[in-house]
């Protein structure tokens, strides 16, 4: 059975983060037997929890997908929301219910370093899930703006 994929961005806006987005989306499009829809989280986990996502396949029609390889910024937008360390926090059932309701079987979150992978079972089911804890290694350089596409300085 096909599952849907969702991808989000977290961290500083750079050309590298958009290049990674391009790579995940184009590779996902090659796996049509396993992956049905490809969604993007608008403004990361926080945006997704508030119902903000987009169809990434639509970027092919506008040629925006190929432009992502060299475009600085964070195309999907980022957030500074940190998931709680306590896996019993009420945000996790909300997050996984949203994944289930959208048929998400593949989740990518660009930015940071994998610190830990925790496998668990959804309450009252036989459904297994994995939670990947990602640590941001560096602070975002001050030369990068907080909003994608907004320059830090006015031109001369």
pTM of the model: 0.72
| Residue that is written with structure tokens 């506008």 in the block | 62
Across 4-18, 34-48, 81-95, 137-151, least confident range: 137-151
Q: What is the mean pLDDT of residues 126-143?
A: 65
Locate all alpha helices (DSSP H) within 12-134, ordered by sequence: 15-29, 44-49, 58-61, 64-67, 91-101
> What is the percentage of the chain residues whose pLDDT exceeds 90?
37
pLDDT, position 97: 93
Question: Is the confidence at residue 3, as pLDDT, over 60?
Answer: yes
């Amino acid at each position: 059975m096909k599952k849907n994929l969702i991808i989000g961005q977290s961290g500083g806006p750079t050309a590298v983060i958009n290049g990674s987005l391009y790579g995940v989306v184009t590779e996902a499009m090659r796996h049509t037997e396993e992956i049905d829809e490809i969604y993007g989280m608008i403004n990361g986990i926080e945006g997704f929890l508030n119902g903000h996502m987009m169809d990434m396949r639509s970027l092919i029609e506008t040629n925006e997908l190929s432009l992502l390889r060299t475009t600085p910024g964070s195309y999907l937008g980022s957030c500074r929301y940190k998931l709680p360390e306590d896996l019993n926090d009420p945000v996790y059932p909300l997050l996984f219910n949203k994944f289930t309701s959208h048929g998400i079987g593949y989740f990518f979150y660009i930015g940071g370093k994998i610190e830990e992978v925790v496998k668990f079972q959804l309450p009252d089911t036989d459904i297994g899930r994995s939670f990947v804890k990602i640590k941001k290694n560096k602070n975002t350089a001050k030369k990068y703006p907080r909003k994608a596409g907004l320059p830090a300085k006015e031109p001369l």
